[in-house]
């Protein structure tokens, strides 16, 4: 009778490491918050109670609470007990902020990718804003256009007001996810590619387009607003160039 020798499978060594106590406390508290056991506005149990509940020392509890605070999930106030914050899209975006910044600064081609995303996002955002805006949104946008006029000799101020203008359009959409995405996207663009931004001498054109965008929003003309936004961003696209691409 023939004999068959089984082949022994070889594996790379992957040692299992013990999770830090503070990480375990963090995970338990996170689960309590996500499940609704701890709701927005609720007071977090005292350090002593958490020590007893999880059978850990004070340092592990404090590290876990600080980690939650760093993520914006809870607020730690001196002399007061910690409270659970209202979870929002902004908190979620904060968690990817550092990773996104690393991605955008690491690869030159990501500039083009970011500009593509901006065109798609902002054309859709201004369309929704035209439908959802109120009179105060229109007043605020006109104020920003006037403010930007006063920054024609100040590139930094002009750019900062430009960010504020496009962010205000996102706010007018009444969509918290769009609001949360727009500002960091613009901040990433200007912060990481500022050396590539060329002062074109066509800032008057930018102001004119901004004024027309506000007119379309006031008229609730979503199609015209979206078309102009695409034209506006297509025109500004060459202002960002990277010789490495």
Segment 73-102, tens digit of pLDDT: 899 988 788 999 887 766 665 655 566 666
Which residues have CB under 8 Å from 124's CB, separation 6+? 226
Domain end point (choices 31, 64, 84): 84
33/150 same-domain check: no
> 105 and 59, same structural domain?
no
* Residue range of the domain that includes 37: 21-84
SS3 84: strand
pLDDT of residue 243: 41
More confident residue, 184 or 49: 49
Last residue of a domain, one of 84, 101, 122: 84
> What letters, b where the CB count within 10 A reaches 16 and e where it falls short, cover 211-243?
eebbebbbeeebebbbebbeebbeebeeebeee
pLDDT at 104 over 50: yes
Same structural domain, 94 and 199: yes
- 234 lies in a domain? yes
In terms of domains, do 47 and 105 share one?
no
The CATH number linked to 131 is 1.20.120.530
In a domain, 229, yes or no: yes
Q: How many domains does the chain have?
A: 2
For residue 74, is it within any domain?
yes
Q: What is the CA angle 89-172-224, rounded to 5? A: 125
Q: Which tokens belong to 134?
A: 């109120």
Q: How confident is the model at residue 244 (pLDDT cuts 50, 70, 90)?
A: very low
Q: For residue range 203-232, what is the model confidence (pLDDT) as tens digits? A: 889 999 999 999 999 999 999 999 999 999
More confident residue, 209 or 201: 209
Task: Tell me: do 125 and 37 sit in the same domain.
Answer: no
For residue 43, give the nearest of 80, 89, 91, 92 by alpha carbon. 80
Are residue 116 and residue 186 in the same domain, yes or no? yes
Same domain, 105 and 164: yes
Same domain (yes/no): 80, 95: no
- Facing residues of 83 across strands? 43, 75
**Contact between residue 165 and residue 141 where contact means Cβ atoms under 8 Å apart:** yes
Is 53 part of any domain?
Answer: yes
Phi, psi of 217 (to 5 degrees): -65, -45
Query: Could you tell me if 95 and 200 lie in one domain?
Result: yes
CB burial readout 182-196, b (16+ within 10 A) else e: bbbbbebbbebbeeb
Q: Of 63, 84, 105, which one is at a domain's C-terminal end? A: 84
The residue-averaged pLDDT of 134-140 equals: 98
Inside any domain, residue 133? yes
Judgement on whether residues 103 and 195 belong to the same structural domain of the protein:
yes
Note the pLDDT tens digit of each residue in 1-43. Answer: 555 455 555 656 555 556 789 999 999 999 998 888 999 999 9
- End-to-end Cα, the chain, rounded Å: 67
Same-domain check for residues 33 and 139: no
CA distance 106 to 228: 32
Q: Note whether residue 231 is domain-resident.
A: yes
Torsion of CA 143, 147, 152, 154, to 10 degrees: -150
Q: How far apart are CA 41 and CA 74, in angstroms?
A: 9
DSSP state at residue 46? P
**Is residue 158, in this structure, part of any structural domain at all?**
yes
Q: Residue 174: left if φ>0, alpha if ψ -120 to 50, beta else—which one?
A: left
Residue 78 and residue 184 share a domain: no
In a domain, 16, yes or no: no
Closest CA to 64 of 38, 26, 28: 26
Q: Specify the pTM.
A: 0.65
């Amino acid at each position: 009778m023939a004999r068959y020798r089984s082949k022994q499978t070889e594996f790379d060594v992957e040692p299992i490491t013990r999770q830090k106590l503070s990480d375990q406390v963090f995970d338990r508290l996170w689960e309590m918050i996500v499940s609704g056991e701890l709701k927005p506005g609720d007071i977090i149990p005292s350090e002593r109670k958490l020590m007893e509940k999880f059978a850990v020392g004070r340092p592990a509890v404090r590290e876990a609470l600080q980690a939650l605070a760093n993520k914006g999930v809870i607020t730690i106030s001196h002399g007061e007990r910690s409270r659970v914050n209202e979870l929002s899209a902004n908190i979620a975006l904060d968690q990817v902020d550092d990773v996104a910044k690393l991605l955008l600064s690491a690869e030159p081609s990501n500039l083009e990718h970011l500009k593509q995303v901006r065109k798609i996002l902002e054309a859709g955002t201004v369309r929704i804003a035209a439908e959802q805006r109120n009179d105060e949104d229109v007043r605020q946008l006109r104020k920003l256009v006037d403010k930007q006029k006063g920054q024609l000799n100040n590139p930094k101020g002009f750019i900062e007001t430009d960010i504020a203008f496009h962010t205000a359009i996102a706010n007018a959409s009444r969509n918290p996810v769009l609001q949360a995405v727009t500002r960091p996207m613009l901040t990433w663009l200007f912060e990481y590619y500022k050396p590539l931004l060329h002062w074109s001498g066509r800032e008057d054109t930018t102001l004119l387009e901004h004024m027309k965008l506000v007119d379309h929003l006031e008229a609730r003309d979503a199609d015209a607003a979206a078309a102009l936004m695409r034209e506006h961003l297509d025109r500004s696209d060459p202002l960002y160039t990277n010789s490495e691409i």
